[in-house]
Structure 1
Amino acid sequence: MTTLQALLAFGLAAGLLTITPGLDTALVLRTAATEGPRRAFAAAVGIGVGCMVWGVAASVGAGALLTASTLAYTALKWAGAAYLLWMGIKMIAKPRDRFEPGAVSPTGGGASASLRRGLLTNLLNPKVGVFYISFLPQFVPAGANPASFGVLLAGMHVVMGLMWAGLLIAATAPLAGLLREASVIRWLDRITGGVFIAFGLRLALDRR
């Protein structure tokens, strides 16, 4: 896989994952609806910073493993493949039919409080780290430095997240209504689950 192919493949997968509703989407929508666009974007920036911290940590750690040990590489590969397959099968077999932005309770404070809330949402969620460790290594092309390229991919994901957050904030009412449609939620989960399974199989069959 060339560098361009890796970036395009990651962009497609990360794009689908970015628009799939989750806790981050709920936080941005809820903050935009109740506290205004400025605080909502501050929350999105906090989320991005948290993702970047996890992404850098995962990239450096995974990069060291990939470089130092074939055994560690193999263990990480199979663990990542199993995680992605499990997540994919789960999302296809039992897609959600409800997504309620109001489930995230707003708190007081200014933009700094919203940024801190977004940051802690991700820093205190170890699933974000597990996801990056499982997901990033398979998009590192042959010959590239795993750590630096992983950081680049994590940065791409953060930029996508900020762009999506901007769209959510700009169209809070219509998008919030769309994301309450059971059929939309089910199909987003199924599509994303299919992406997870495809990349999990790809990772499992990869030969170093």
Structure 2
Amino acid sequence: MTFGALAGIALVALGMVLTPGPNMAYLVSRSITQGRRAGLTSLTGVAMGFMAYLGATCFGLTAVFALVPEAYTAIKLIGAGYLLYLAWKTLKPGGVSVFQPKALRPDPPRKLFMMGLVTNLLNPKAAVMYMSLLPQFIDPAAGHVMAQSFMLGSVQIVISMAINTVIVLTAGSLAAFLATRPTWLRFQRYAMGTLLGAFAVKLAADRSRAVVATS
């Protein structure tokens, strides 16, 4: 793995975890209404969901790239399109902040874990992310596609869990802070949307690794 590939996946993972979605909305709502411990328990379920997707994707990508090298280019372009969709969804007007949480009734730890897991497994952002994001940084010519996939996916999981842990621990304070500072919410949306959009365009325009994959 090159440093560029690891840095690239880290940058995109950071942009995606800071882009509000079902996981963040659930974790923030749970942390504010039931406390930090409940938020962290829910986060362990989210982590298991990521690991399940990573395992399924790694085995699938290895088989697909071995049987159909041209699929690398197709998945790469689909991934770029998905990042553009996330950028548009983040930048479009009328978005609602996840720090305006829904009230949730208290649940026991086992249910918190399962809800975190189910929320992530049913999250289309998580499902598409692995299938479309990992191929952007895999070099089939270097071999060990599965090892590359697991390494890249592990970087994404570590960054996602680190950021979400900070969000869970500070959800109440952040909600109070941002409630009176809408400018900060707009800045977060524009910064993350621009980052995802720029990276999507760069990936779509870069044909060098696609040529290597099919040669």
Tell me which interval the TM-score lies in, with the shorter structure as reference length: 0.7 to 0.9
Aligned equivalent of 1:198: 198
For 1:60-92, what per-residue CA distance to the aligned partner results, in whole angstroms no more than 9, with x for missing partners? 222322232132222212222222223323433
Residue 196 (structure 1) shift: 2.1
Residue 10 (structure 1) shift: 1.5
The 1:155–1:179 alpha-carbon spacing in structure 2 relative to 1, beyond 3 Å, is: farther
Q: Distance in 2 between matches of 1:149 and 1:85?
A: 24
The 1:196–1:206 alpha-carbon spacing in structure 2 relative to 1, beyond 3 Å, is: farther
Q: Can you give the 5+ residue segments of structure 2 that lack an aligned partner in the other structure?
A: 211-215
Q: Can you give the 5+ residue segments of structure 1 that lack an aligned partner in the other structure?
A: none
The 1:101–1:61 alpha-carbon spacing in structure 2 relative to 1, beyond 3 Å, is: farther
Residue 49 (structure 1) shift: 1.0
Q: Indicate conservation of the 8 Å contact 2:134/2:152, yes or no.
A: yes
Aligned equivalent of 2:152: 153
The 1:47–1:34 alpha-carbon spacing in structure 2 relative to 1, beyond 3 Å, is: same
TM-score by length of 1: 0.84
Aligned equivalent of 1:188: 188
RMSD of aligned C-alpha atoms?
A: 2.4
Q: Indicate conservation of the 8 Å contact 1:85/1:200, yes or no.
A: yes
Q: Distance in 1 between matches of 2:94 and 2:196?
A: 14
Q: Distance in 2 between matches of 1:202 and 1:144?
A: 24
- Percent sequence identity is 28
Residue 143 (structure 1) shift: 0.9
Q: Indicate conservation of the 8 Å contact 1:31/1:40, yes or no.
A: yes
Give the 3-state SS of the residue equivalent to 1:173 in structure 2. Answer: helix
User: 92-101 or 72-81, which moves further after superposition?
Assistant: 92-101
Residue 120 (structure 1) shift: 0.2
For 1:90-110, what per-residue CA distance to the aligned partner results, in whole angstroms no more than 9, with x for missing partners? 43344725334423x534432
Give the 3-state SS of the residue equivalent to 2:5 in structure 1. Answer: helix
Aligned equivalent of 1:5: 4
User: 60-69 or 6-15, which moves further after superposition?
Assistant: 60-69
Residue 46 (structure 1) shift: 0.5
Q: Indicate conservation of the 8 Å contact 1:98/1:182, yes or no.
A: no
Q: How many residues align?
A: 206
Note if 1:68 corresponds to 2:57: no
Residue 118 (structure 1) shift: 0.3
User: 24-33 or 41-50, which moves further after superposition?
Assistant: 24-33
User: 45-54 or 106-115, which moves further after superposition?
Assistant: 106-115
Q: Indicate conservation of the 8 Å contact 1:138/1:203, yes or no.
A: yes
User: 140-149 or 155-164, which moves further after superposition?
Assistant: 140-149
Q: Distance in 2 between matches of 1:167 and 1:64?
A: 37
Residue 26 (structure 1) shift: 2.1
Q: Indicate conservation of the 8 Å contact 2:20/2:98, yes or no.
A: yes
Q: Indicate conservation of the 8 Å contact 2:33/2:105, yes or no.
A: no
Match of 1:130 among 124, 128, 131: 128
Q: Distance in 2 between matches of 1:35 and 1:167?
A: 16
TM-score by length of 2: 0.82
Aligned equivalent of 1:102: 101
- Superposition map of 1:8-157 within 5 A: 8-94=7-93, 96=95, 98-103=97-102, 105-141=103-139, 143-157=142-156
Q: Distance in 2 between matches of 1:55 and 1:151?
A: 7
Give the 3-state SS of the residue equivalent to 1:171 in structure 2. Answer: helix
